[in-house]
Amino acid sequence: MNTSALSSTAPEKAACVVVVGVGAEQGIGAAVCRRFAQEKLKVYVVGRTLNKVETVVAAINAKGGHAVAYGLDAEDEQQVQALFDRISHQQEQLSAVIHNVGGNIPSIFLQTSLQFFNQMWRSTFLSAVLVSQSSLKIFQRQQQGTLIFTGASASLRGKPYFAAFTMGKSALRSYALNLAQIYSPQNIHVAHVVVDGMVDGDRVNKALLGLGRLVRLTRGGGGLNIEAIAENYWMLYQQSRNLWTHELDLRPYQENF
């Protein structure tokens, strides 16, 4: 966890965490929300579909956590800025922001429309730019903060049928590591998490009328456990500035490199 550089005479603010890109209750975003809420942090559960984030919030609050549902389109600059303006106006301490936006959708390259490429670029990369621009301004004022991006192995090696996804995630990785270089001296921890493998969540398990779950189970390691992923996000947040991780590689024990 970052060490605050704020004056000890300043009034203590309530700490909060923002997780952008929360969908199904069994997904990375929701698991990260639950993990941070366990530590008594107020969690803004942010997603495009309000009824999904409300389900996640209800489960967290039922267990004694403090979560707030917030619906927005992470590709809309005004909507993203409005969220962080709200946090600033409420004088809350923004402790961490997790960007978890962008799904993996396959396509055949020569049959992929420009509209599809634009859609993938906006969800995987543009949304990250908007979220980081708004959050980093607050982190700079506070002189501390943690910003974590959910990446993918596509940022390191593209595979057939995933050119559009590779494009967005490669840009995200370069962008995140560049931000880490710029903002680390300002006591702002920026980390990029490479998620390599099928995730044991609703998006995979319910894909192709349930065949996604079968594919995940037949692959080595059975997929990435979402609670284990969330534990690693918490570990990144807890790190001392004396030794920060800026890129973390997560994969099942039998996943191919």
- Answer for the pair 23, 30: CB distance below 8 angstroms, yes or no: yes
- Backbone phi, psi, residue 193, to 5°: -105, 115
Coil, helix or strand at residue 161: coil
Kindly report, residue by residue over 50-70, the tens digit of the pLDDT. Answer: 999 999 999 999 999 999 999
Q: Comparing C-alpha atoms, which of 164, 143, 199, 129 is closest to residue 5?
A: 143
For residue 206 the two structure tokens come to 């319910």
Mean local confidence (pLDDT), 95-104 = 93
Just give the CATH number of 15-250.
Answer: 3.40.50.720
Q: Comparing C-alpha atoms, which of 219, 95, 94, 105 is closest to residue 169?
A: 105
Reply yes or no on whether the pLDDT at 213 is more than 80: no
pLDDT of residue 212: 43
User: DSSP code of 41?
Assistant: -
Q: Which DSSP string do the residues of 51-69 spell out, in sequence order?
A: HHHHHHHHHHHHTT-EEEE
Kindly report, residue by residue over 2-48, the tens digit of the pLDDT. Answer: 544 443 444 568 999 999 999 999 999 999 999 999 999 999 999 99
Q: Where are the domains of the chain?
A: 15-250
Dist. CA 85–CA 76, nearest whole Å: 14
pTM score: 0.87
